Amino acid sequence: MTQPTSTALQQLVVLIREATGNVIPTARLSFLEEVAQRRAQVTGRGSLEEYVRALAAHQIEGEWGTLVSLVTIKESYFFRAPQQFEVIVRQVLPGLARARAGTRHLRIWSAACARGEEPATLAMLLAEEPSLNGWTWTIVATDLDEEALAGAKLGLYGERAVSQVPPPMLERWFKRRGKLFELDAGLRSRISYQSLNLAHAPFALPFAECDLVLMRNVLIYFRRPLQRWVVSQVAKLLAPEGYLFLGASETLWQIQDELESVDLGPCFAYRHRKPQPAAVPATPPPKRVHRKPPPEPPAEEKPRWNGETPRDWSVSRAATAVAPAPEPPPAAPAGGVQERLLAAARDLAENRIEEARRILDAILAADPSEPAAHALVGFLHDLCGRTEEAVGAYRAALYLDPALFQPRVLLADCLLRLGKRDLAEHQFREVLTLLTSGREKALGLFEGLPLPDRERAQRRCRQVLKGG
Ligand SMILES: C[S@@+](CC[C@H](N)C(=O)[O-])C[C@H]1O[C@@H](n2cnc3c(N)ncnc32)[C@H](O)[C@@H]1O
């Protein structure tokens, strides 16, 4: 049973979203309430209502920074999504080295860098890359959370954060400090840490163009209009030859079309769209293999602007430009999230793709962290033959709830279809491990959708892993 939410808590959710872009999902409301109550006490406010009022009026010095640090998710570790780093070293750097042979300088931005695990991973790789000997590079690592940035500058990490660092690199770049690992100070000094709030312009970087941008696992916490706006700002800062990497579960599908996704083998990145060649006689599109007809492409939503300067919010004092106004969620049937998910599943089962899409868009517009909605979006793409988009949506579902075994089986099947057998096998093995551990979770009862139950999932995994 969900508890009714107090008005003060609802106001706080809106304030946090306006200031940082982060949507607080329903499942985290009780956590937010607990944190806010504690902060109300610490800051000498008698009640949650008083605390929220004072926060809104910026009457508590430094409080926004503290609160943001407590409520944003800082999950990160070195070599997270290693396939992306492998691709950066093997494919991206050689291309960039050719493009920058004149200046022998690379400009890199790690946006939403948490405690610095991501920029430091890049710094190690660049420092060890023989083809960059004699080159200079700048890595700017930014985050909204000043405390996380202070942690990054300190460079001390626990066992878990460094668990994926290859042992020789751990040896070279870290010193053991009791239970912690200290990142080499020389390497740290090559990274410039600065506060930057992605929810408000301008994005003040020390260079006008970036050759490489890592903006991973942050858009997922934003609503779609803000995602679109952030990406358009980043696109302006991306050099014509540059690359943008998002989190493995994030996609720009339906978000913008300035940048196009490029398939780099084990992962995707985004680049500026190449200019279309002059008109040539069109070849007919390949025959569709949809089981069901594809939906109409959605009408492009126009970003709306409120034209106001953003709040004077202590964490983003530099912000001077407009931020996108929140858009009303797309119209969709009323009811709780579970009811609307069921309605979307029914629509999918009965081939009412457009209706399903509208419901799912509305659910995700209100709460982008609802895993079942992402899973159903994956299913929708899958149904329409958009396998790559389905992969992105299934990954988003699994990022939010790794124990869901059904989206993992569907993801694995998509990867097989895309010819990525290694990645698919990895996912099938994960499903088996999950099912054996008994920690797996199933999606709600979506009648009519061919979601595998535990037995079928197990059979499918074994069949593929045996070479079927
Ligand atoms: C899950 S971590 C991602 C860390 C790293 N990029 C990775 O993929 O491992 C998300 C980070 O986004 C930051 N963040 C959230 N909202 C932000 C905003 N509006 N502007 C900048 N950073 C933000 C959080 O403080 C947090 O450090």
Contacts of 175 (CB under 8 A, 6+ apart): 181, 182, 184
Identify the CA nearest to 244 among candidates 223, 226, 267, 222: 267
Number of structural domains in the chain: 3
C-alpha to C-alpha distance for 260 and 273, rounded to whole angstroms: 5
- 42: domain CATH number? 1.10.155
Q: Is residue 434 part of a domain?
A: yes
Q: Ligand 1 atom 17: the closest Cα is on which residue?
A: 144
Boundary of a domain, candidates 15, 50, 71: 71
Q: Is residue 320 part of a domain?
A: no
CA distances from 68 to 19, 32, 46, 74 (A): 9, 11, 21, 11
Tell how far the Cα of 446 is from the centroid of ligand 1, in angstroms: 33
One domain, residues 267 and 355: no
Q: Hey, what are 10's tokens? A: 């609802």
User: What pLDDT is stored for residue 290 in this prediction?
Assistant: 39
Q: Which residue shows structure tokens 């790690």?
A: 110
One domain, residues 225 and 369: no
Domain that holds residue 114: 82-272
Neighbouring-strand partners of residue 210: 238
User: Ligand 1 pocket: which of 24, 143, 197, 200 to mutate (most atoms <8 Å of CB)?
Assistant: 143
Report yes or no: 200 and 321 within 8 Å, Cβ to Cβ.
yes
User: What pLDDT is stored for residue 256 in this prediction?
Assistant: 77
User: What pLDDT is stored for residue 97 in this prediction?
Assistant: 95
Query: Letter for the amino acid at 296?
Result: E
One domain, residues 184 and 136: yes
Tell how far the Cα of 349 is from the centroid of ligand 1, in angstroms: 36
Q: Hey, what are 99's tokens? A: 């493009």
Query: Letter for the amino acid at 218?
Result: V
Which numbered atom of ligand 1 lies nearest the CA of 68?
Answer: 25
Q: Is residue 312 part of a domain?
A: no
Which numbered atom of ligand 1 lies nearest the CA of 20?
Answer: 19
DSSP per-residue letters across 321-362: S--BPPPPPPP---S-HHHHHHHHHHHHHTT-HHHHHHHHHH
One domain, residues 51 and 95: no
One domain, residues 67 and 89: no
Tell how far the Cα of 218 is from the centroid of ligand 1, in angstroms: 5
Q: Is residue 32 part of a domain?
A: yes
Tell how far the Cα of 116 is from the centroid of ligand 1, in angstroms: 10
User: What pLDDT is stored for residue 250 in this prediction?
Assistant: 86
Boundary of a domain, candidates 71, 92, 126: 71
Which numbered atom of ligand 1 lies nearest the CA of 21?
Answer: 19
Tell how far the Cα of 220 is from the centroid of ligand 1, in angstroms: 10
Which numbered atom of ligand 1 lies nearest the CA of 110?
Answer: 6
User: Ligand 1 pocket: which of 24, 113, 144 to mutate (most atoms <8 Å of CB)?
Assistant: 144
User: What pLDDT is stored for residue 323 in this prediction?
Assistant: 55
Q: Is residue 301 part of a domain?
A: no
Identify the CA nearest to 379 among candidates 393, 368, 366: 393
Rounding to the nearest 10 degrees, give the CA dihedral for residues 422, 423, 428, 433. Answer: 100
Tell how far the Cα of 110 is from the centroid of ligand 1, in angstroms: 10
Q: Is residue 292 part of a domain?
A: no
Report yes or no: 245 and 118 within 8 Å, Cβ to Cβ.
no
Tell how far the Cα of 152 is from the centroid of ligand 1, in angstroms: 13
Query: Residue length, the chain?
Result: 468
Tell how far the Cα of 367 is from the centroid of ligand 1, in angstroms: 17
Q: Is residue 311 part of a domain?
A: no
Which numbered atom of ligand 1 lies nearest the CA of 148?
Answer: 27
C-alpha to C-alpha distance for 89 and 415, rounded to whole angstroms: 23
User: Ligand 1 pocket: which of 72, 147, 317 to mutate (most atoms <8 Å of CB)?
Assistant: 72
Q: Ligand 1 atom 3: the closest Cα is on which residue?
A: 217
> What residues does ligand 1 touch, defined as CB less than 6 Å away?
20-22, 72-76, 80, 112-114, 118, 143-145, 148, 197-199, 216-218, 221, 247
Residues in the chain where the model's pLDDT stays below 50? 1-2, 281-322, 329
One domain, residues 43 and 146: no
Which numbered atom of ligand 1 lies nearest the CA of 214?
Answer: 6
Q: Ligand 1 atom 12: the closest Cα is on which residue?
A: 112
Q: Ligand 1 atom 27: the closest Cα is on which residue?
A: 114
Boundary of a domain, candidates 272, 290, 317: 272
Contacts of 283 (CB under 8 A, 6+ apart): none
Tell how far the Cα of 362 is from the centroid of ligand 1, in angstroms: 24
C-alpha to C-alpha distance for 226 and 20, rounded to whole angstroms: 10
Q: What is the 3-state secondary structure (H, E, C) of 139-182?
A: EEEEECCHHHHHHHHHCEECCCCCCCCCHHHHHHHEEEECCEEE
Tell how far the Cα of 71 is from the centroid of ligand 1, in angstroms: 11
One domain, residues 163 and 32: no
- 364: domain CATH number? 1.25.40.10
What does residue 319 show for φ and ψ, rounded to 5 degrees? -65, 130
**Degrees (nearest 5) of the Cα angle 83, 88, 91?**
105
Q: Hey, what are 54's tokens? A: 């004072």
C-alpha to C-alpha distance for 316 and 320, rounded to whole angstroms: 9
CB atoms within 10 A of CB 382: 23
Tell how far the Cα of 219 is from the centroid of ligand 1, in angstroms: 8
User: What pLDDT is stored for residue 241 in this prediction?
Assistant: 96
One domain, residues 204 and 65: no
One domain, residues 38 and 60: yes
Tell how far the Cα of 304 is from the centroid of ligand 1, in angstroms: 24
- 136: domain CATH number? 3.40.50.150
Q: Which residue shows structure tokens 């595998």?
A: 452
User: Ligand 1 pocket: which of 218, 227, 249 to mutate (most atoms <8 Å of CB)?
Assistant: 218
Q: Is residue 2 part of a domain?
A: no
Which numbered atom of ligand 1 lies nearest the CA of 198?
Answer: 20
One domain, residues 65 and 120: no
Q: Could you report the per-residue pLDDT of 332-343, keeping only the tens digit for each?
A: 566 788 889 999
One domain, residues 346 and 424: yes
Can you give the C-alpha Rg of the chain in angstroms? Answer: 23
One domain, residues 123 and 234: yes
Report yes or no: 213 and 245 within 8 Å, Cβ to Cβ.
yes
Q: Ligand 1 atom 9: the closest Cα is on which residue?
A: 76
Tell how far the Cα of 83 is from the centroid of ligand 1, in angstroms: 20
